[in-house]
């Protein structure tokens, strides 16, 4: 657990979620 790949996937998922939320608000 805590591998760089997991961290990268988590960051990508968070970025995608943020983008979707911002699009919804905009």
Q: What is the reported pLDDT for 2?
A: 62
Q: What is the pLDDT of residues 1-26, one digit of tens each?
A: 567 888 899 999 999 999 999 999 97
pLDDT of residue 14: 97
Structure tokens at 2: 């805590």
Alpha-carbon distances of 7 from 4, 22, 24, rounded to whole Å: 5, 22, 26
Residue 4, pLDDT score = 80
What's the Cα-to-Cα distance from 21 to each of 2, 8, 9, 10, 14, rounded to whole Å? 26, 20, 18, 16, 11
Say what the pTM is: 0.59
pLDDT of residue 21: 96
């Amino acid at each position: 657990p805590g591998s760089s790949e997991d961290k990268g996937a988590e960051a990508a998922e968070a970025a995608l979620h943020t983008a979707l939320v911002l699009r919804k608000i905009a």
